[in-house]
A and B are shown apart, each in its own frame.
Chain A
Amino acid sequence: MAALNLFSLLNGLTFAALLFLVAAGFTLIFGLLRIVNLAHGAIYLAGGYMGYSAAVLSGSFALGVLGAMAGAAALGLVLDHGLLGFVRGFELRQVLLTLGVALVIDDLCLVTWGGDTLSVPIPPVLSGAAHFAGVYYPRFRLFVLALGVVVFCGLWLLLHRTRLGALIRAGVDDTETISAMGVDIQRIFLITFLLGAALAGLGGVVGGAFLTLYPGADSEILVFSLAVVVIGGRGSLAGAAVGALLVGLLNAIGQVMFPELDYFVIFGPMAAILAFRPLGLFGRAA
Chain B
Amino acid sequence: MRRRDMIRLSAGTAAAALAAPAIVRAAPAPIRIGVLAPLTGVVAAGGKEMVQDFSWFWALHGNRAGARKVELLVEDDGSNPDTALAKARQLVEQSHVDMLVGDLLANTGLAVANYVKGTGTPYFIPIVAADNLTQRDRIPNVVRVAGYSASQTTHPFGAWAAQQGYKKIATISQDYTFGYEQCGGLAQTFTAAGGKITAQFWNPLNTADFSPYLGQLANAGVDAIFAMQTGADATRFIEQYASFGLKGKIPLLGSMNFTDQSVIRTMGPEVEGIVSAAQFAEGSANPTTQAYAAAHVKKFGTLPSLYGFAMYSAAMWIDEALPKIGDTVGNPKKLLAAVESTTLVGSPLGYPVTLDAYGNPIYTIFIRKVVKNPQGKWWNVPIHSYPHVSQFWTYNLAQYLKQPSYSRSFQGIAKT
Give chain A's interface residues, CB within 8 Å of chain B. 1, 3-4, 7-8, 11, 14-15, 110, 114-117, 119, 127-129, 131, 135-141, 210-212, 214-217, 220, 252, 255-256, 259, 262
A256 touches B208 (CB 8 A): no
Cβ-defined partner of A119 (8 Å) among B39, B45, B239: B239
Q: A7-B218, A129-B244 are in contact. Are A215 and B41 (CB under 8 A)?
A: yes
A131 touches B44 (CB 8 A): no
For B235, the chain A residues whose CB sits under 8 A away are 117, 119, 212
B239 touches A256 (CB 8 A): no
Over the window 202-239 of chain B, the binary record of Cβ atoms lying under 8 Å from chain A Cβ atoms (1 yes, 0 no) is 10101011011111101100000000000110011001
B208 touches A115 (CB 8 A): no
Beta-carbon nearest neighbor of B262 in chain A: A116
- B394 lies within 8 A of chain A by Cβ: no
What's the Cα separation between A127 and B244 when bound, in Å?
10
- B284 lies within 8 A of chain A by Cβ: no
B211 touches A136 (CB 8 A): no
- B83 lies within 8 A of chain A by Cβ: no
Cβ-defined partner of B236 (8 Å) among A15, A141, A212: A212
- B73 lies within 8 A of chain A by Cβ: no
Q: A115-B40, A138-B240, A212-B235 are in contact. List 4 more A-B contacts (CB 8 A).
A: A115-B45, A129-B243, A136-B244, A256-B216
A8 touches B240 (CB 8 A): no
Over the window 85-115 of chain B, the binary record of Cβ atoms lying under 8 Å from chain A Cβ atoms (1 yes, 0 no) is 0000000000000000000000000000000
Instruction: Indicate the member of A115, A131, A135, A262 with the most B CB atoms within 10 Å.
Output: A115
What's the Cα separation between A117 and B214 when bound, in Å?
20
A129 touches B245 (CB 8 A): yes
- B246 lies within 8 A of chain A by Cβ: yes
For A7, the chain B residues whose CB sits under 8 A away are 211, 214-215, 218-219
Beta-carbon nearest neighbor of A129 in chain B: B245
Cβ-defined partner of B44 (8 Å) among A15, A114, A259: A114
For B216, the chain A residues whose CB sits under 8 A away are 4, 256
Beta-carbon nearest neighbor of A217 in chain B: B208
Write 17 A-B pairs (CB below 8 A) sorted by A numbering. A1-B219, A4-B215, A7-B211, A8-B215, A11-B209, A14-B211, A110-B40, A116-B48, A117-B44, A129-B244, A129-B245, A136-B218, A136-B245, A137-B244, A140-B243, A210-B243, A215-B41
Shortest Cβ gap from B358 to chain A (Å): 34
For B231, the chain A residues whose CB sits under 8 A away are 117
A215 touches B208 (CB 8 A): no
